[in-house]
Structure 1
């Protein structure tokens, strides 16, 4: 299962990192999209995440690992078509296709990781997979940096999408499943004892959308970052993440979810204040890197759920979690886009408030969460 997920993570990483690196410059330089248009496109991108709950019903007819493979193929198709449609409508349609694949793969990825690896292994596996994902992003960034002047947007989007599609096709020929694991619930499961997981997931999704929709857009629009500069920033970010992610997984085991998540949200308060008020292009880029590193601390939300959940609720819990994560994400980018037109600082001040709420909620997590807590 580790090798299976590893190949799919690499395939998805190539497609999504290529898309993420190129899309803002493509939107501004080729499609002529403004902040409001980008906010609309990013809101549409989150609709499949909101519908991740439907994965529970899809696995009634398709096994989880099969759905993961098909989702990566769809991700590649969406990314591969992006360059052929340089308009707001075109970007919305291809983004929607890419996003369905991406979000359904992430739902299955998290579910399979929590099912197949125990409490100690799961954070380490998550850290290693994210580390390999960061290494993949470095390779993609290097490719874009050196090939951007020789290849057009259409060719690069198509190439990155093809890599993901090939990874998904390979995975369709494999069966890494085991029969000795608890049978997963094939229905939506909402339980009162999971309320803190739901709340943390909701706030994480809302706050994350400010970053996804507007952090790079700030760099491009306000500070005039070129595609090469954005690529260098992504490469620096991923070099750091390659080394940091395994350490974050170990930190979850050593210090617990409460401590790790507290560090994340405390840091994010400072990061978003920096986005709002800095006039330095260099500082804004540094804040982007810090934001990316501490985002990986959010694996603590998933491992927290693993420890409090009935083993049969893992697949349903991840699907429900993805849907909750995207409740606010569907409308926040549009609201942020409208706020951007008035004063871009308001967007990031809103993210500061969200981070404060998350920090308060995190203090409810027990300091030492063990299996005895989960079964009590």
Structure 2
């Protein structure tokens, strides 16, 4: 018994190292790509929009790729994901390829990062103790936030001091990210040999679309809308409406990262304490509240009823931070899926399907948001997000996690017999 507990703790420790390396690498690469495109390739607004296609395409393809190679097992696919991310970012760090070639290696790097998105939740939940899933997921997320924060601080001070620069032939921040991805790949390889597979041989992962998972799919679609509003238009309010520079956004990101270290742990404890349904209500009401307030504050600044300086600006900063934190409550979606999964082998493929749906909706939401912002005013983008977030409230009302979990367990028993 003690030996099994020690092995479980060792497996969890290895996973902490894996996700730490990935979070640090992503912070040093994905976090500076916008500046890289602008300063190295001097892209136009049209080209910047075009670049999003190879960056987001892996998200659309995630479910298909997982469906093809998922039979290898989560840890082996995680190893492949790190090798892809390593290859892409290393080439961009060592060379300055032609624009078209750069897009190819950007795609390779992005494919690796997107493949690992569903895997990190699936592996994390499979390693967690049955009575501590919420706590463990909170801890995993806190560690990721912590290493994202370290990367953000390194980027901020690195560029301020000239240690990092896009003017040199070799992009040092990308090479450091490559080393971190290499460490992640090495840890994935170690985990493949140390983490015991399930007693029953896993079935080949495939595209999963079950009626029983309909509320999870709806939550991922809603998340795609909310994500675009938070990361694109919430940021654009600060850049366009308030005319703030990149250092302001960097500092806000650092603040969010610091708070997230503690907030994720708190969320995990709340998950185990209050349960899935109550946390879904909290998730929905937080989104609705933040976006309604966001819309009215933006309307107030545009109409001149609120100043574009002083207290109103600080209130926008507070909303920006609150919006980013509210996005983190979405980890309840993965825990909900695992609790109702009819077959544990379907968790990874269903999570990847969710990411694909998320990215499809994200692209549509970005286009729709741009039209609404231009034609009717930026405040209506946030009111639209609040309206869509009513869907989260509907799901929270409709789901019955205990009954769905009981049904899933019955189906598992029937399939095994």
Distance of 1:348 and 1:24 partners within structure 2: 24
Aligned to 1:165: 182
Answer whether contact 1:74 1:165 (CA < 8 A) is retained. no
Distance of 1:42 and 1:125 partners within structure 2: 33
More displaced stretch, 240-249 vs 62-71: 62-71
Answer whether contact 2:28 2:174 (CA < 8 A) is retained. yes
CA distance 1:82–1:371, shift in 2 (3 Å): same
More displaced stretch, 194-203 vs 37-46: 37-46
Structure 1 residue 294 and structure 2 residue 352: aligned? no
Answer whether contact 2:85 2:111 (CA < 8 A) is retained. yes
1:198 corresponds, among 202, 209, 217, to 217
Answer whether contact 1:141 1:231 (CA < 8 A) is retained. yes
Give 3-state SS (helix, strand or coil) of 2:330's partner.
helix
Distance of 1:156 and 1:220 partners within structure 2: 25
Distance of 1:313 and 1:48 partners within structure 2: 20
Structure 1 residue 131 and structure 2 residue 142: aligned? yes
Distance of 2:172 and 2:89 partners within structure 1: 11
Give 3-state SS (helix, strand or coil) of 1:172's partner.
helix
Structure 1 residue 58 and structure 2 residue 58: aligned? no
Distance of 2:25 and 2:244 partners within structure 1: 22
More displaced stretch, 112-121 vs 24-33: 24-33
CA distance 1:185–1:204, shift in 2 (3 Å): farther
Aligned to 1:313: 346
Structural mapping, 1:66-215, within 5 Å: 66-80=76-90, 93-149=104-160, 150=162, 151-153=164-166, 154-175=171-192, 176-186=194-204, 187-215=206-234
Distance of 1:167 and 1:73 partners within structure 2: 9
Aligned to 2:413: none
In terms of Rg, which structure is larger? 2
Answer whether contact 1:194 1:305 (CA < 8 A) is retained. yes
Answer whether contact 1:115 1:314 (CA < 8 A) is retained. no
Give 3-state SS (helix, strand or coil) of 1:306's partner.
helix
Structure 1 residue 327 and structure 2 residue 365: aligned? no
CA distance 1:294–1:159, shift in 2 (3 Å): same
Distance of 1:79 and 1:31 partners within structure 2: 16
Answer whether contact 1:138 1:238 (CA < 8 A) is retained. yes
Distance of 1:350 and 1:90 partners within structure 2: 38
Distance of 1:274 and 1:73 partners within structure 2: 43
Q: Which has the higher contact order (CA 8 A, sep 6+)?
A: 1
Distance of 1:45 and 1:112 partners within structure 2: 24
Structure 1 residue 242 and structure 2 residue 274: aligned? no
Aligned to 1:363: 397
Distance of 1:337 and 1:35 partners within structure 2: 14
Cα offset, 1:104, TM superposition: 0.6
Structure 1: runs of 5+ lacking an equivalent: none
Answer whether contact 1:41 1:91 (CA < 8 A) is retained. no
Answer whether contact 2:283 2:392 (CA < 8 A) is retained. no
CA distance 1:366–1:119, shift in 2 (3 Å): farther
What CA RMSD, in Å, does the superposition of the two structures yield over aligned residues?
3.0
Please give the per-residue CA displacement for 1:238-280, whole angstroms capped at 9, x wherever unaligned.
Answer: 1111111111011111111121122222222232344444344
Answer whether contact 1:82 1:90 (CA < 8 A) is retained. no
Please give the per-residue CA displacement for 1:93-127, whole angstroms capped at 9, x wherever unaligned.
Answer: 55433321111111222222233335432222211
Distance of 1:193 and 1:307 partners within structure 2: 12
Structure 1 residue 350 and structure 2 residue 384: aligned? yes
Aligned to 1:14: 24
Give TM-score, length-normalised by structure 2.
0.79
Distance of 1:108 and 1:313 partners within structure 2: 12
Answer whether contact 1:131 1:243 (CA < 8 A) is retained. yes
CA distance 1:346–1:299, shift in 2 (3 Å): same
Cα offset, 1:148, TM superposition: 1.0
Number of aligned pairs? 375
Structure 2: runs of 5+ lacking an equivalent: 1-10, 302-311, 411-417
Give TM-score, length-normalised by structure 1.
0.86
